[in-house]
Structure 1
Amino acid sequence: MAPRAVFLLPAAEAFGAQRLDPIRARALGRGDRLPSREPGPRAQLLRRFEVLPRRIPVAALTRQADAGDAAGHAWLRADPAHIRPDINGARLLACGETLGLGADDAAQLLRPLKPLFGDAGFPIDAPVPSRWYLRLPLQARLPEFAPPSEALGADLFEHIAEGVEGRRWRALLNEAQIVLHNHPWNEGRAARGLGTVNSLWFWGAGVLPDRVASEFAEVSGDDEALRALATAAGIRAVAAAPQFEAPAADALFDLRPLRDLRLFGEAWLAPALAALDRKQLATLELDLADGRGYRLARGQRWRFWRRPQAALE
């Protein structure tokens, strides 16, 4: 039996007033509209992975992949970040891999942070230069932290932890920012035209799930939560590709960074529809972040009475 493919897409509003070309619009119009589902990127992933308990503790999942020692503790990512003050507050401009840190960078920058977080009871380390971790007690109570993907370019204070539980973390963050601002290693990076690390980004808190499973054989994409879930489920995770190629088995493609509907139509939807026609795919599902969805199949091409649909709505 031919495999099936699922495209994870952003919310329809991300494409604005863009429209598909007539051929792809006709295929979409003849497809099946799926019942509305829970919106949000987290809900999209939980539709595709069975995670028990039903949450996505990114820090614990990536820690297990990076170091293999996540069991027995709760974990929080404290990734290196660069923020820039502006007239309205401050903005997160870079985080994690985008700063291009090497092992020496991480070792030097972490040295003065280790006593700060160690005294607070949360040892910090970095098995990977771009991914920094705080080890927490299993029963640690933490506020909600936004992932950096939601905060990049936005006002920092719209995403900072609030409430009584957030107060302690805001204080720790302020102390860490002072340490990093005064760190001579940052002066050297700035002199070489490299991004400085003047803050941390807390996110992804939790403990290892009891179970992670998926019906897919392969996932394609660069999102950390997606790749961490795939690793935990024991399935193959590959980097995002520039265009669709028919998979050998059921596959999930993360296209949520896409904002160009023409590119989506040409590089992804057109070759996927061709694969359906050649019976290289059994079905293609479009899963939008706003909860909408479509299922396309070869037999739908005979639905001549259906109107074309040029927008993902």
Structure 2
Amino acid sequence: MSQAVTLWIPGLLDALRVKEAQASLKDLKLPALQTLLAKADKFAVKPQSFYEQASFLFHQPGCLPIAVTKASAELDEFNPNHFWLSVDPVQMIPDRDTLVLVPGKALQITEQESKALLQKFNAHFAEDKVELIWASSQHWYLSIVQPVDIQTTDIEKLAYQSVNAFYPKGNAAQYWRQLLNETQMLFYTHPVNEARREQGWPEINSVWVWGEGKIEADKLLIRTDASIHSNHAYLQGMANLTQSHYCAEPESYQAWLNQIAGFSDPGNGEIDKHFICLDSVADKLDNLQLDEWLTLLQQLEENWFAPLLQALKRDEIDSLLLDLGQEYRAHLKPSHLNRFWRFKKPLNSL
């Protein structure tokens, strides 16, 4: 059975990284990747967030709301009919007339610290019936029966940035601004932060509200014929909500083949559309030196690009979409490999 495959490696061939590596890429040989990019049809990519790209690549009518999608993967008790918000612990650092947000992932928050702060928050806001749900040390959720009028900014966009222009907006904005202010006072005197100050560690002195939304049936495309392969909570949640098959991120093309081998079992139905996101690769890109990035490209050539090229040649894949963080996406069918007039180009021309 032929398969349709989407391989997404966010930021791998980012334009700035490629520009910086011009000299090194000039003589680097990755024949499979070069062939795939040379033979493919190319489609321009407009700037999108991770969540917008994920929803688009998985053919959803619009971007699935972030909090509710992630909560469906991270929480044991989850109500898809509620309105959901992420209310994540952060540090706010005063900087002249503004506050700069430091995300929880940079604060090394322990489970004990996270639960202690959440408990204090819930006790303080009990009269408002605002009760946070703990998912992990860095991620908390708020579930509300009825939708509220609030528009927020994703926490990823604000990491290490001023928050002055990005406080929640909408009819409920004043309440949420007050909640943030009260939380800062509440957390400042908490034993967790007193201990952190004594150790010289960054404080966990606020929260950020973001990712609002509710699942709407007319904005959700059910895909029982598809699978998602990723470790990212948003993509796992997307699989849950769209009734798609879910697998962890595979380490290689062969590992992916092993994953889908069981899809032909009776009762699974026909699953022939596969969305693979190598989010563990994307997560480490910012910290890689040039030589490490070049080594990574060579590993991906061996583990992914060369096997994908061979699968196209053998008609085992009849549609391949590559999104590698460039300004375009590359799409191939087996017949595209017959474009003899399209020659491989040096990687520094990317």
**C-alpha distance in structure 2 between counterparts of 1:171 and 1:159, whole Å:** 14
> 1:138 Cα shift?
1.7
Aligned with 1:15 (options 17, 20, 38): 17
Partner of 2:35: 27
> 1:297 Cα shift?
5.6
| Alpha-carbon distance change, 279 to 13 in structure 1, aligned in 2, over 3 angstroms | closer
Partner of 2:300: 268
Partner of 1:105: 113
Q: What SS does the aligned partner of 2:240 have? A: helix
Q: Which protein has the bigger strand share?
A: 1
Q: Confirm whether residue 90 of structure 1 aligns to residue 99 of structure 2.
A: yes
Partner of 1:310: 347
Q: What SS does the aligned partner of 2:347 have? A: coil
The answer to whether the Cα contact below 8 Å between 1:9 and 1:289 also exists between their aligned partners in 2 is yes
For normalisation by structure 2, the TM-score amounts to 0.73
Aligned with 2:234 (options 202, 225, 234): 225
Aligned with 1:138 (options 122, 141, 146): 146
> 1:45 Cα shift?
1.3
> 1:170 Cα shift?
1.7
What percentage of residue pairs aligned between the two structures are identical? 19
Partner of 1:208: 215
Q: Confirm whether residue 238 of structure 1 aligns to residue 239 of structure 2.
A: no
| Alpha-carbon distance change, 98 to 67 in structure 1, aligned in 2, over 3 angstroms | farther
> 1:275 Cα shift?
0.4
Which deviates further from its counterpart, 173-182 or 150-159?
150-159
**C-alpha distance in structure 2 between counterparts of 1:60 and 1:273, whole Å:** 34
Aligned-residue Cα RMSD (Å) equals 3.4
Q: Which amino acid aligns with 1:217?
A: S
**C-alpha distance in structure 1 between counterparts of 2:106 and 2:64, whole Å:** 20
Where in structure 2 are there 5+ consecutive unaligned residues?
Answer: 261-273
Partner of 2:187: 180
Q: What SS does the aligned partner of 2:297 have? A: helix
> 1:268 Cα shift?
2.0
Q: Confirm whether residue 286 of structure 1 aligns to residue 322 of structure 2.
A: yes
| Alpha-carbon distance change, 2 to 263 in structure 1, aligned in 2, over 3 angstroms | farther
Where in structure 1 are there 5+ consecutive unaligned residues?
Answer: none
| Alpha-carbon distance change, 216 to 266 in structure 1, aligned in 2, over 3 angstroms | farther
Q: Which amino acid aligns with 2:230?
A: S
Aligned with 1:48 (options 57, 64, 67): 57
Q: What SS does the aligned partner of 1:157 have? A: coil
Aligned with 2:277 (options 240, 253, 257): 253
**C-alpha distance in structure 1 between counterparts of 2:46 and 2:139, whole Å:** 30
Q: What SS does the aligned partner of 1:67 have? A: coil
Q: Confirm whether residue 125 of structure 1 aligns to residue 133 of structure 2.
A: yes
**C-alpha distance in structure 2 between counterparts of 1:95 and 1:240, whole Å:** 27
Q: Which protein has the bigger helix share?
A: 2
| Alpha-carbon distance change, 137 to 193 in structure 1, aligned in 2, over 3 angstroms | same
Q: Which amino acid aligns with 2:8?
A: F
Q: What SS does the aligned partner of 1:35 have? A: strand
**C-alpha distance in structure 2 between counterparts of 1:7 and 1:63, whole Å:** 23
> 1:161 Cα shift?
2.6
| Alpha-carbon distance change, 188 to 98 in structure 1, aligned in 2, over 3 angstroms | closer
